[in-house]
Chains A and B, each alone.
Chain A
């Protein structure tokens, strides 16, 4: 007699964004076999883009139909607006990253695998953003991380790519191990995997000063800090961002950070509300460290990719301010800020990718000279992204910073506002430095592009991606109300 195995009810709709991306990845991989080499790049990139677009639409539908968040599939994942909105940000970054990737000078040998892994990394992030137990948290994290390790190293002809992959693998593996170890300690202390059950047990048995639990919490924060590239867990970021193929960097800097920060918010507020007095301070310290390290190190960079890597560390710091605030305004601030941040991040790396392809060498502040006049759209886009990162108005970056600071002030941490303001002032130097390089140099210093001569390559897809990123960056400034409403609906349940 066959014992009937109790299988949980599966909510396919809740999984649909991840499934769309998994399917896109599988089809891409099949293309590696069935599509002739010459057509492979076009076909697989279209498949991958369709996967991300499908995931975006599915996540948007999920957002519309998940007003009341609840656990599904035996409560291992959470179907709610927080996950849906995060997935939309990831999928949006994915679409832009695919457009950026299309003309990347990479041999056609592994192009199908490239797009398959990109889609799978997106799938892992979509899955992770809904995680509601320690198991699914780790599963999702490793799922997208492994895809990214390979993506960083996939272009074997690119100097530094292999090194970047290896470095990311080792340091990222260390981060994952910390997270796993922390999860084990938390499980050991409470006997529960699910986030809100952990909180319940801690409250019922008044475990909030339990050494095991607190140590577990600390390890988990560190593990997530690695993924969000927050100081002092940031040291892999500049090398990996610099070495990885630029489109991969673009995707990582936007999507990985979004998912890691949202997960940090979700875990800390749902599983550890009783420890808020501890982790708010820990997160605030990480925020200050990231702001200090990111901004000061970015000042002296000559490579634009490294500069942007440190800028992404400093932005991890800004967004950690929102998490440290531990209030409804902070939740809203984080989810709102991630939208223009993702656009600016992908957009700026896309511009770097375009310049790289023109010059055939790494982009430095020096060889950006005159770029703004030569390529009005890309240069103008880069200027918009830099102004957005620096928090100037008419970009969503301004409203995002305003909300973060407002959240910290609302929490009563004026000192954190002052630190943020000081960090912004320092960051002006290097963000405006890019603009200075692109526009202010006299024309004798212009490095006119292609080594081979002729007009610079026209990349319609990349230009479309940059235009899209500009539209989101500037549009999020004007459309604050709908975006902030979405962010509020996504996060209000965390702070009931």
Chain B
């Protein structure tokens, strides 16, 4: 089951790459595979027993025995939600690419599907080396997707992206080797905890760059701006969550000692990133800039929740990961739609798009309002839990979070008014149409899921860590 979730998109990728289909058929096949992945995930949810803590739907197969490395995959409650996020966002991204049309479709869609497989793999891997394999396997398709199909500045953007992420990843490889050899196994479930600060920092380096956490975010604005909209959606919606998942599944679960040693600096960096990202988002001159920096801010918030290391913080962070994944994916896809119509993402050139374009106005407004965490929204539930959790650690962090929520309202409202209201900007012509049915079909499901979560956040918060205490459930090591 779990293996099928990884290899269905990989098989689809190989199929698309090898079969000599016409461009339209390639896109359609890829979209079908991506939708099949969503269906498979729904089936997985139906099979998952949320009342039990611990690993489920587990599969293990020895890979090389002398160092005890195995292909070991399985689901925890929270990984289930992240895999769901992956399948939904990737399906939307493939759909968007299919609608917008991409050159060299066979290569493009096979890379997108490979990326799907790698992301699912990251969230279900229960072996350190397997985790690293998927982690790196995710970078290769992204490198091509940004480098080939990106904007004019893509060469520089990919270079920055790869250098930053690989510098972090390679430190993680050293840390994995050290942890695996000192534990005698690379299995995440069967290994105990470690008290080595250096190994812990090796992991933190990789996750802090990928998330990104302030001040490791230099690659972020350029990469998000130069990617095509659907790739930016995947990057900020899902790939950044892989890093947050790494914090949760490895850093917090395996290093109780170092976590308490380094908690203060990490929380401070997260809080600084939260405020700083929000301020930059408020100042950014273009659509993508606002979303990119808000993504930096949100990752800071999620990190705050995670490193609160208590039940409220962890469940809030998991909920917020899903929320932010859906929100930023929807926003990037909408930004793509707006850029197609106006040929620019500069906020100064946009404006007045609400007039005569009700669908665009409604969808953007709904997403924006959820993003600024209006009470009753899913994001409000997530942020509230995170702030309540981190308040137990130190009231200062909660204050930073509260300030950031105000700032979030400011930058989101600025974005909404700059695009929809004001007087029409020079780039907005009468010919620019409302969202087409196909675009609505791509974005509305994302927003609909957000609305469902707004009504019922407990769907995730009560089904992430089993009935047990969240912290002890991720730290328990099986014999």
Contacts and interface: CB of A to CB of B under 8 A. Distances in A.
Given A392-B140, A393-B137, A481-B64, A424 B178 contact: no
Nearest to B171: A421
Contacts of B170: 421-422, 424-425
Interface stretch (B147-155, B246-254, B301-309): B147-155
Contacts of A488: 66
Given A393-B132, A440-B148, A409 B66 contact: no
Interface string A417-442: 11001101100110010011001100
Contacts of A373: 104
B15 to A, nearest CB: 16
- From B143, B144, B147, B170, name the one whose CB has the most chain A CB atoms within 10 angstroms: B170
A410 interface: yes
Interface residues on B, range: 35 or more
B374 interface: no
B177 A439 contact: no
A-B CB proximity, top 5 nearest: A393-B133, A480-B64, A440-B147, A421-B170, A393-B136
- Label chain B's interface by main secondary structure: helix
Contacts of A429: 159, 163
A425 B66 contact: no
Interface residues of A, number: 31
Given A392-B139, A435-B143, A439-B148, 7 more contacts: A406-B177, A409-B178, A417-B174, A421-B174, A425-B163, A428-B163, A481-B65
A405 B133 CA distance: 16
Nearest to A376: B107
25 contacts: A392-B136, A392-B140, A393-B132, A393-B137, A394-B133, A398-B136, A402-B129, A405-B177, A406-B67, A406-B181, A409-B181, A414-B174, A417-B178, A425-B167, A428-B163, A429-B163, A435-B143, A435-B144, A435-B147, A436-B158, A439-B147, A440-B147, A440-B158, A484-B64, A488-B66
Contacts of B133: 393-394, 398
Interface of A: 332, 373, 387, 392-394, 398-399, 402, 405-406, 409-410, 414, 417-418, 421-422, 424-425, 428-429, 432, 435-436, 439-440, 480-481, 484, 488
Interface string B62-103: 111111000000000000000000000000000000000000
A428 B166 contact: yes
- Label chain A's interface by main secondary structure: helix
A435 B107 CA distance: 14
Contacts of A410: 181
A424 B162 CA distance: 13
A409 B177 contact: yes
Given A392-B136, A402-B129, A484-B64, A440 B155 contact: yes
B155 A436 contact: yes
B173 interface: yes
Contacts of B166: 425, 428
A332 B67 CA distance: 12
A414 B134 CA distance: 25
Contacts of B62: 481
B157 to A, nearest CB: 11
Contacts of A436: 147, 155, 158
